[in-house]
Amino acid sequence: MTVISVDLSNRPYDIHVRAGLLADIGSVLAPYARDSRLLVITDENVAQAVLPKFEAALRSAGLSSAQFILPAGETGKSWAQLEQLTDWLLEQHVERSDHIIALGGGVVGDITGFAAHIIKRGCAFVQIPTTLLAQVDSSVGGKTAINSAAGKNLVGAFHQPSLVLIDPELLSTLPTRQLAAGFAEVVKYGLIDDAPFFDFCADNLDSFFAGSPDIRAQAIIRSVQSKARIVAADETERTGTRALLNLGHTFGHALEADTGFSDRLFHGEAVAAGMALAFRYSVRMGFCPAEDAERVTELLKQAGLPTSLSEAGVSAEGAALVDYMRHDKKMSAGTLPFLLARGIGQTFLSNDVALDDVAAFLDSEV
Ligand X SMILES: O=C(O)C(=O)C[C@@H](O)[C@H](O)[C@H](O)COP(=O)(O)O
Ligand Y SMILES: NC(=O)c1ccc[n+]([C@@H]2O[C@H](COP(=O)([O-])OP(=O)(O)OC[C@H]3O[C@@H](n4cnc5c(N)ncnc54)[C@H](O)[C@@H]3O)[C@@H](O)[C@H]2O)c1
Active site residue 227: yes
- The answer for residues whose C-beta is within 8 angstroms of residue 229's C-beta and 6 or more apart is none
What angle in degrees, to the nearest 10, is found between the helix axes of 176-193 and 267-284?
30
Active site residue 143: yes
Work out the number of other CB atoms within 10 angstroms of the CB of residue 120: 14
- Name which of ligand X, ligand Y, none residue 345 binds, using a CB cut-off of 5 to 8 Å depending on partner kind: none
Active site residue 74: no
The verdict on whether residue 301 carries a ligand-binding annotation is no
Supply angle C-alpha 351, 8, 239, rounded to 5. 10
Cβ atoms of residues 304 and 261 within 8 Å? no
Active site residue 237: yes
Active site residue 351: no
Active site residue 246: yes
Q: Looking at 195-203, 215-223, 260-268, 345-353, which segment touches ligand Y (CB under 6 A)?
A: 260-268
- The answer for residues whose C-beta is within 8 angstroms of residue 124's C-beta and 6 or more apart is 32, 97, 98, 99, 100, 116, 161, 162
The answer to whether 190 contacts ligand Y (rule: CB under 6 A) is no
Task: Give the nearest distance from C-beta 345 to ligand X in angstroms.
Answer: 17
Q: Looking at 67-75, 94-102, 213-221, 313-321, which segment touches ligand Y (CB under 6 A)?
A: 67-75
CA distance linking residue 300 with residue 280, whole number of Å: 14
Amino acid at 234: D
Q: What is the DSSP string of 255-302?
A: HHHHTTSSTTS-HHHHHHHHHHHHHHHHHHTTSS-HHHHHHHHHHHHH
Active site residue 298: no
Q: In the complex, which residues of this chain contact ligand X (CB under 6 A)?
A: 137, 141, 143, 152-153, 185, 242, 245-246, 249, 329
The answer to whether 339 contacts ligand Y (rule: CB under 6 A) is no
The verdict on whether residue 249 carries a ligand-binding annotation is yes
Out of 26, 104, 337, 343, the residue judged to bind ligand Y by CB under 6 A: 104
Q: 14 forms bridges with which residues in the sheet?
A: 5, 163
What are phi and psi for residue 119, nearest 5 degrees?
Answer: -70, 125
User: Binding string to ligand Y for residues 45 to 64, with x set by CB under 6 A, is what?
Assistant: xx--xx--------------
Task: Enumerate the active-site residues.
Answer: 121, 143, 185, 227, 237, 242, 246, 249, 253, 267
- Give the binding site for ligand Y (CB under 6 A): 43, 45-46, 49-50, 72-74, 77, 104-108, 110, 130-131, 133-134, 137-138, 141, 143, 153, 170, 173-174, 178, 181, 266-268
